[in-house]
Amino acid sequence: MKTFALGQAGAGRLRAFYALTKPRVNTLIVFCAVIGMFLAVPDGLPHAFTVFAATLGIACVAGAAAAMNCLIEQHIDARMTRTRARPLPRGELAPAEAMAFATVLGGCGLTVLHQAVNPLTMWLTLATFVGYAVVYTVLLKPRTPQNIVIGGASGAMPPVLGWAAVSGEVSADALLLFLIIFAWTPPHFWALALYRSADYARAGLPMLPVTHGPEYTRLSVLLYTLILFGVTLLPFATRMSGGLYLACAIVLGARFVHYAWRLYRDYSDALARRTFRYSIAYLFGLFAALLVDHYLPW
């Protein structure tokens, strides 16, 4: 029985460390990075080992950045309904353990990228880590309602990292992928902030619905979604992608605009939740369309 109890305790701690990496967010990060790897190769497939090593390295550093975010914001997380069940607010892990975990995980990821991929990818990934864990979490999030807009640059980097991992450079096409996620980030997060505004107010965070009100935020969601719609047409305009991607971008984007319009005209928390969830599916679908279109024979 004692051995069984120790085993359960060990498994619980492993789950707690895993939760620090924000696995659902990390999945989207890695997905976009992998798409960048495949799109970086004009014909054929990227080298399998490079894809594996780059994916492993990027996932580790992204997980470390998430753990640092949890560590820095543990007292804020404890005041928010959405985040109070995270391992640090619940006391499942000590801050020193989270710090050590983030350091080891991030160090391993950067080492893999430097040794098995290329130094450019390692430095870009390190800059992304600093941008999220320090610039966004420490400097922007508690100080300005534009935290999501400015800090979105870090969140938009995964396809650029994947592109650099395979090609050894950052091209204009890679920057287009960056621009898509950069434009996607504000309506995605502000939809969440709208129905969690009381949480953010209680935590003392200056999110847009708290500082400027829900109506202004709903208008901002609509405007940024329209900007996003236009930006997603650029890969077709620059001949990076073809007709299949264009059709998917129009259909997916029109649905997103419809959500944003309804959110502006007839708001409800339930609709904001659906908009937030759709925004995640939207980005998955858009990048999947880019990948499929890339390998079409025409």
Q: How many CB atoms lie within 10 A of CB 19?
A: 19
Encode the chain in three state secondary structure: CHHHHHHHHHHHHHHHHHHHCCHHHHHHHHHHHHHHHHHCCCCCCCCHHHHHHHHHHHHHHHHHHHHHHHHHCHHHHHCCCCCCCCCCCCCCCCHHHHHHHHHHHHHHHHHHHHHHHCHHHHHHHHHHHHHHHHHHHHHHCCCCCCHHHHHHHHHCCHHHHHHHHHHCCCCHHHHHHHHHHHHHHHHHHHHHHHHCHHHHHHHCCCCHHHHHCHHHHHHHHHHHHHHHHHHCCHHHHCCCCCHHHHHHHHHHHHHHHHHHHHHHHCCCHHHHHHHHHHHHHHHHHHHHHHHHHHCCCC
Residue 33 contacts by C-beta under 8 Å, 6 or more apart in sequence?
A: 54, 55, 58, 158, 159, 161, 162, 165
**pLDDT number for residue 4:** 46
- Tell me how many degrees the CA angle 101-202-204 measures, rounded to the nearest 5: 70
Taking a C-beta distance cutoff of 8 angstroms, is the pair 1, 38 a contact? no
Residue type, 70: C
Q: What is the pLDDT of residue 8?
A: 61
Record: fold of 171-298: Four Helix Bundle (Hemerythrin (Met), subunit A) (1.20.120)
Chain centroid offset of residue 264 CA: 24
Residue type, 55: T
Q: Which residue has the tokens 């200056």?
A: 206
Cβ pair 279, 256 in contact under 8 A: yes
| Residue pLDDT, tens place only, 237-289 | 999 999 999 999 999 999 999 999 999 999 999 999 999 999 999 999 999 99
User: Rounded to whole angstroms, how far apart are CA atoms 273 and 193?
Assistant: 10
pLDDT for position 194: 97
Q: What pLDDT sits at residue 12?
A: 80
**Token digits of residue 149:** 């807009």
Q: What is the pLDDT of residue 3?
A: 53
Kindly report, residue by residue over 137-164, the tens digit of the pLDDT. 999 999 999 999 998 999 999 999 999 9
Instruction: Specify the amino acid at residue 150.
Output: I
pLDDT score for 106: 97
**What CATH class does 12-170 carry?**
mainly alpha
Query: How far apart are alpha carbons 69 and 243 in whole angstroms?
Result: 40
pLDDT at residue 297, as a whole number? 81
What residue spans define the domains of the chain?
12-170, 171-298
Query: Which regions in the chain score pLDDT beneath 70?
Result: 1-9, 298
